[in-house]
Structure 1
């Protein structure tokens, strides 16, 4: 049985402060907020230029594409990493951070940590794409490898953080991370207004753990949200339909979307998306490859499989283009050989 949705009893990250009756410890819940997304957007705007917005007509409708693949680390993850690490106090920065990721969150954390002078350790699967591993190492992070099939990345990272007194920074199950990713929506809204497209009305978002989708849902409160996942890995779609958290089933299929291979979403992201009545769709491997080819031909952009699922959903007809549609192209860190095969498969 999955975990039923309890709107007022979600397991948000907590911190303890002194106070209460007779000096007892009081628990204060830290939740991601729209105000936090706006703060994150201001932080990002102070250090990075906006990623480009491309507008292309599909079936007679102008659709906006946000190229997060052109971030310095090749993915949107830099947003949440910067918002989270800049929130650490001086003592926490000295003790360092530990994260786990197949590569994009890894590079985001490594980039922010290097810029802020924070020691960073990243737990990465042994089959992580070489480009993502090399990018993480080049940014000065320590990398600890693990076997995706037999070991728990959460367990390894948690043990490392406890042993070192470091701050554990999950890739999506963290309020600061969610707020940081949501800055993408704030930025895109301004760009769409400049282009004369008006407010985003329907946002199509790649989804692994749901941090990007949840952040955008908080930042763009009037927009419809559709999350997109690879077939066999659509735990967020099934969770939203069931109204409780449904994990990925046993023996999920192989997928090129390494950045979206999350076996169970967190209550934190699920709750935000459930409150917004978000919906989900799944796309096939062939549809993802077709989207990669379309992005290369029409936008002149290199998009990784996980970053192309939103586009795939629109091109394949799973999501109908409407005025005010925004599609997030979330990453572009490809394995060159696999990308060449995808381009040649059409």
Structure 2
């Protein structure tokens, strides 16, 4: 059983809980599980949720509960409420779907050095747009994340969010931003404005430009600043680099350095075949989390070596999740610089 840390100490009264939670379904929970779920809810639900992080959580693990078709939608609505930083109560959150299961492709270090050099060379040669004063970085993705780890009714099934679009706007200094994720955020989106000092865990474009581009120096900085985080130093270093690839605009020289840095992390392998959330096939750089038993894969086009997206595949059975289960899936569809927040790329400057 995995339970998230409480975001606040004070609890809500039962009347307020009743308004936030869906009607209970059958079958009924046993007393001990009912009390456990109530405690979890009391710790997690907030009447006024804070602005969510620009970066989505890798995994949403909920305690297992008996689930019928009707009750499952309610459990998923709770997942969205507690993890999204706010959801439009009038909007219907899409119910979860059974996670896809794929063949576990073997990983190898035989072609690691040459593959990374191809990827780094392609990144260095890419023409990255430079955001100017008042402009915003726009990232459009297709994503799906783990919704429910398992249920008492059927531990052979794992539930994930349906694939859906996610759009992020961020100012170069990271102080202003906007997130649009229909079905998982309030209608129209939510603010990502922040006064947090930029760091590896909360980067901005301006901050990324200050990072060293020497792979050894960059890796040393990543290990130092992420010490004590994650399941292991190597896993956290790989995760940190991967997070920068997903919803950031990384200067070309630094992008190349990040890939060469990743190749120095023990346990990184090449997976010859992987598929992103848009159905695009490619080659991947991957690393297995030894504690959770899943493998994170960064997927690249096999010919151009451009970054496509990411996939997390369960390698070892854990938390009721079978090997081969895809628990996270993303695809970056567009990166651009636009003139204003909520504006989409295009001649007409369409807005959210």
Shorter-chain TM-score bucket reads under 0.3
The structure that is helix-richer by fraction is 1
- Which protein has the larger Cα radius of gyration, Structure 1 or Structure 2? 2
Q: So what's the TM-score if we normalise by structure 2?
A: 0.25
